[in-house]
Structure 1
């Protein structure tokens, strides 16, 4: 019974935690093959070790994720540009209306100043800076792994030994497996 060297990382409930096959500490991480032919408990820290397993990266899925992220970023940029344009137009309208009011006030003040021979004062408006809000990038963990050759071979040998032991138990349970006692004299 052979199975491919492609293991998927899965989590189980805390109540189902068992000892890691490497360090025997309780863990909820499980590596399992397709069609559930083989599985074993392993600590998440062992999955990061190059001497234990190597991650299998799906290029097509990664490219699709990157394209989707690029499209989302582009859409956010377009929305941001539209928002900034709208804010700019609003500020421009407000500024124009304020300038008209200021001109009226200036005209009135100039008249008063001419009458009083005073000086006129200028006021300046300040714009608050725009904030760039970028969502933090979430690093996804790899879920598919390939065991190192010697570990994979150990898993295959363990499965074969379990099959042989099962066959031997079944044979021994069969009454025709053992020879019968001789019925005649020698």
Structure 2
């Protein structure tokens, strides 16, 4: 009885550790943040105008470019710029500009959905049109012979995920701070 119980515990522990190891080593796909916010109080035009105000006056990720703004559909699509850092084997920090896309769509039923994603790294600032996706860049970093010392692949992945969350949090915080409609009694 004692050995049977011990065997089950050991097998369970081995299976659990194998599953945890598999999650750790799997690639997570594209780096992005997407959220759908239901808001029956928010009219499409008000949400659109609020998003345009955030993009024009409160968007800190510059330089930026508005690719598409359509008031009739309640859509805003724009790009912004952030920086990620890698480390050389000598410990020197190197910054790389990263372009990302922000997409907003006001829902006709009330509320909105938005996403932050499509991160692209500019490898050479003298050639800003030549970009690679962050996922491709992470793969390149992982194949680097010095990656065991620098861990740049994990560093860039963590920074990119953090930036996607930070951008989304900035937008969501702004949208949540809109003034209440109606009179307070």
**Same fold at TM > 0.5:** no
| TM-score of the aligned structures, taking structure 1 as reference length | 0.22
| TM-score of the aligned structures, taking structure 2 as reference length | 0.22
Q: Which has the higher helix share?
A: 1
For the pair shown, the structure with the greater C-alpha radius of gyration is 1
